[in-house]
Amino acid sequence: MFEPITRKLDEAIDSNKNMPPIRKRQRNKGQVPDYSIQAQDDAPDMNLCDLFDEPVLPQNEKQIALKPPSYEDIFSGDKELYVDPQYLKVQPDELPPEYDEDEVPDYEINEEDLDNQILNKLGLLDYENVDKNLITCKGAPRMDGSLLKGGKGAPRIGGPLFHGNGAPRLGMPLPFIGSWLNSQVGRGCTNSYRNAPNLQYYRIPKDPHIRRKYVVLMRNETLKLDSTSTRICSVHFDGGEKLSRTHLPSIFPWTKPTAQRRERKRASFEDVQKIEQTKKRKTALAQLPQEANFKFEEQTENMNVNADTSTSVEMQTLLTGDQLNSLYNRMQTREQEIVKLKGEIQQLEKENNNIKEVNSKLQKEIESLKHALDNNRFDISKFKDKDDDIAFYTGFPDYNAFILCYKTVEQASSNINYGHKRTTTNGNVGRPRVLTKFQEFTLVMLRLRLGLFENDLAHRFLVSRSTVSKIVNAWIPFLRREFEPLIIIPPREVLQCYRPDSFKKLLPNVTVIVDCTEFEMERPSALDSQSTCFSSYKSRTTMKSLLGITPSGVLCFVSDLFPGSTSDKEITVLSGFLDRLNPGDQVLADKGFNCQDELASVGASLVIPKFLEQKIQFSTNETNHNKVVASLRVHVERLMERIKNWHIFDHKIPITIAPIASDMLVVVCALSNFQPPLIN
C-alpha cells in the first residue's frame, strides 16, 4: 500500500539530481572613469611642504600619506602636531547664559575654551610658555618620547582626548598651537575664562536696537558683533549679574560712580533755637556803626599767644563811651526780657500741665460716653418725670406706681426659672444674666403694653431674640403667681364702704358684675381644634374668658382662657367663680348669662335685664329695671376696654404663646388695678 508513495519520492529525488547547479548572480561592475592619469606620471605639488618645516619624503612605494612627526620632534619644537577639530567637540553641561528668542542654542565650544581645557589637563599654566614648562623648567622631568609612551614616572594624559574609542593618535598636532580669540568686548577689561572662571559671560543680543546700545556703551570700534566668541563679563552689570535680555551694562572705566544724595535730617528744637540766636547776633552786629567794627586782622598779627599760659588777650576797639553805654543798656534790657520770658515760660508750662489734666479727664469722660453709647440699652428711668411717657410704655399712671409694682416682686424674682437645667452652688440658675432684674421687668412691661415684637426688644436692650423669648416665657408665669392672689372679691364690709352712690340707691346688694370677653387667635391646623375654637358670635376662632369687677370698678375675678365655642354657663361652672361667692350675694350680668340655677346652688342670686317673652312691650317697671341694669353693667365693658388697651392683644394670639396666653391675661388684669379706679 506504500509503494505508490515511495515511488513518487524516488522520482522527485532523481529529477533534482539531474538539474543543473544554480549560479550566484554577480553584479555588473561599472566602468572606471578615465581621468587621463597614468601611473608613471608625476604627482602634482599639493603644497604639503607648508605643513612642516622639512618635507617628509616617502620611505617606500606603498606609502601614500605623509609620515606624521614623532613626539621628539613635536616637543623639541621642530614640528607641529595637527588634530582634526571633529575630535574636539565636547558638549557643555549647561546652556549658555542667555539666548535671544530667535536664536538656536550653540553647544559648540569655541577654540579658546578648548585650548584652555587641554592646557588644564596637561597641567600647563600659559600657552605661550609651553616649551619652557615642558623642557626648560627646573626640576621638571624631561618630556621625551619614552616619558610620554608610558614609562616610569610618566604623567598619565587622561580624558577622552587621548584614551578611548575615537581618540586621536599621539602623533597629530595639538590644538593649542594657534592664535587665541579675545572673548572680552569691553575695552580695557582683561577678564576671561582662564583668569576669572568664577564670572559669567554673556553674548551680545541679536536685537539691532539693543546692539546699538551696546556699541554706544562699550566704545569699542573693533568689536565683532556677529562672532559667537564675543562675550561680556558680569562685572560690567550692576549687581554682578545680567537680570534680563534688555539689561544693559553700565560699569566701565570711563563711567563715573553715582554720587549718593545727602541724607536730610530733621533739626531738633534746640538746634533751631541755636540757629535763631546766631541769626539775631549777626543782625545785632550788623546794626552797629561801622566805626565799632573790631580790627581783628591787625590785632591778631601783633598778638603773641603763649600756649602754656591761660591769659586772655584784650582786643582794643574804637568804641566811644556813649556807644559803650548804649550797648550796656541794651544788654540790661535784653537780660530783663530774658527774665520776663522765663517767667512767661514757667506760667505757660503750668497752664499746659493744667490743660493736660483737663484733657485726660475729658478723654475719660469721652470713653465712658462711648461705652455708654455702645451699651445704650433702653432705660425707663429717663422718663421718671414724665407720667404720660410712663403710662405709654408701661401702662402705669406714674413712675412711683411702676417702682411699687416692681418692689412687690423684686425679692421673689431671684428664684425665676429660665428653663436652664444646670444650676450653681448658690442656687442661681445658669450663667450670669446680661440684664438686671429691673431691666427684665421693664422688657416684659414693654412687651405687654406696646405689643413690641421680640426683634424690636432685642435691639432696644442689646440682647439676642432668643434671650428676649426666654425672659418673657419665664417672667409671665412668675408674675401670675405673684399677682393672682391680689385678685379677690373683697368682704361685704369693704364693698359697702367703697360702694358708689349709684349702686347704693339702685342695687345696694350687688357684689360683682360679670361678663365674658373674647380674644382672636390664630387658626389651628387641626380641624377638631378649629371647630372647638370657632365662635359663632365672632364668626372666627377665639379664646374666651370670664371677668368680674366690684361696684367700685376694681377687677376681682378673671378666669383662664377657654375655646371660643364654650358657653358662658360652662365657663362660670369650670372657672371656679361659684366658689368665690357667699350666700346672699347678687351677681349683675347681661341677658345671655343664664346661670340662675348654678348661682342658686351656692345661695347667690342673678340680676339680669327682663325678657319680653310673649308680651308686646315691657311694662314701666320692667323698662326702668332694664335701664338701671344697663347703666350699672356698663362699667364692666369699660374694664374690658382698659384690658384690651394692652396692645399684646391687638394681634391674633399666636399658637406658639398659647400655653402662656392665660397667664398674660391674668397679669394684664392684675396690672390694670394699678390704674385709677373706673368709678369715682
CA distance between the termini of the chain: 156
What percent of the chain has pLDDT above 90? 30
**CA neighbours closer than 13 Å in the CB half-sphere of residue 43:** 8
- Amino acid present at 108: E
pLDDT over 60 (residue 139): no
pLDDT over 60 (residue 183): no
Nearest-10 crossing angle of helices 465-483, 399-410 = 80
pLDDT over 90 (residue 352): yes
pLDDT over 50 (residue 128): no
Of residues 394, 668, 648, 663, the one with CA closest to residue 521: 648
pLDDT over 60 (residue 316): no
Instruction: Give the H/E segment covering residue 13.
Output: helix 3-17
**What was the pLDDT predicted at 36?**
57
pLDDT over 50 (residue 348): yes
**What was the pLDDT predicted at 135?**
44
Task: Please state, in angstroms and rounded to a whole number, the distance separating the CA atoms of residues 134 and 146.
Answer: 14
pLDDT over 90 (residue 455): yes
Of residues 404, 388, 478, 385, the one with CA closest to residue 440: 478
Of residues 237, 241, 265, 240, the one with CA closest to residue 250: 237
State mean pLDDT over 298-326: 51
Q: Which three three-digit cell numbers place residue 631?
A: 347703666
Measured CA distances, 359 to 364, 365, 372 (Å): 9, 10, 20
Measured CA distances, 203 to 4, 99, 101, 255 (Å): 91, 8, 13, 22
DSSP one-letter string for 438-477: HHHHHHHHHHHHH---HHHHHHHHT--HHHHHHHHHHHHH
User: Coil, strand, or helix at residue 563?
Assistant: strand
State mean pLDDT over 527-547: 92
Question: In terms of pLDDT, which residue wins out, 87 or 407?
Answer: 407
What would the pLDDT profile of 382-407 be if each residue is shown by its tens digit? 899 999 999 999 999 999 999 999 99
Residues in the chain: 680
State mean pLDDT over 69-78: 63
Find all residues with CB under 8 Å of 132, minimum gap 6, and list them: none
Chain mean pLDDT for the chain: 75
Task: Please state, in angstroms and rounded to a whole number, the distance separating the CA atoms of residues 576 and 488.
Answer: 12
Q: Count CB atoms within 10 A of the CB of residue 51.
A: 15
Which residue in the block uniquely carries the three cell numbers 406658639? Answer: 656
Of residues 664, 645, 447, 671, the one with CA closest to residue 555: 671
Question: In terms of pLDDT, which residue wins out, 89 or 645?
Answer: 645
Q: Which three three-digit cell numbers place residue 656?
A: 406658639
pLDDT over 80 (residue 242): yes
Task: Please state, in angstroms and rounded to a whole number, the distance separating the CA atoms of residues 625 and 632.
Answer: 11
**What was the pLDDT predicted at 182?**
40
Pairing of strands 562-563, 605-607: unpaired
Q: Count CB atoms within 10 A of the CB of residue 15.
A: 9
pLDDT over 70 (residue 123): no
Write the CATH number of the domain with boundaries 487-673: 3.30.420
> Confidence class of residue 420 from pLDDT cuts 50, 70 and 90?
low
Task: Please state, in angstroms and rounded to a whole number, the distance separating the CA atoms of residues 435 and 503.
Answer: 48
**What was the pLDDT predicted at 667?**
94
Which residue in the block uniquely carries the three cell numbers 434671650? Answer: 467
Nearest-10 crossing angle of helices 437-450, 465-483 = 90
Least confident piece of the model among 47-56, 76-85, 339-348, 607-616: 47-56
Q: Which three three-digit cell numbers place residue 181?
A: 580669540
> Confidence class of residue 433 from pLDDT cuts 50, 70 and 90?
confident
Q: Which three three-digit cell numbers place residue 618?
A: 315691657
Which residue in the block uniquely carries the three cell numbers 575664562? Answer: 193
State mean pLDDT over 538-553: 92
**What was the pLDDT predicted at 253?**
80
Q: Which three three-digit cell numbers place residue 635?
A: 362699667
What would the pLDDT profile of 168-180 be if each residue is shown by its tens digit? 333 333 333 233 3
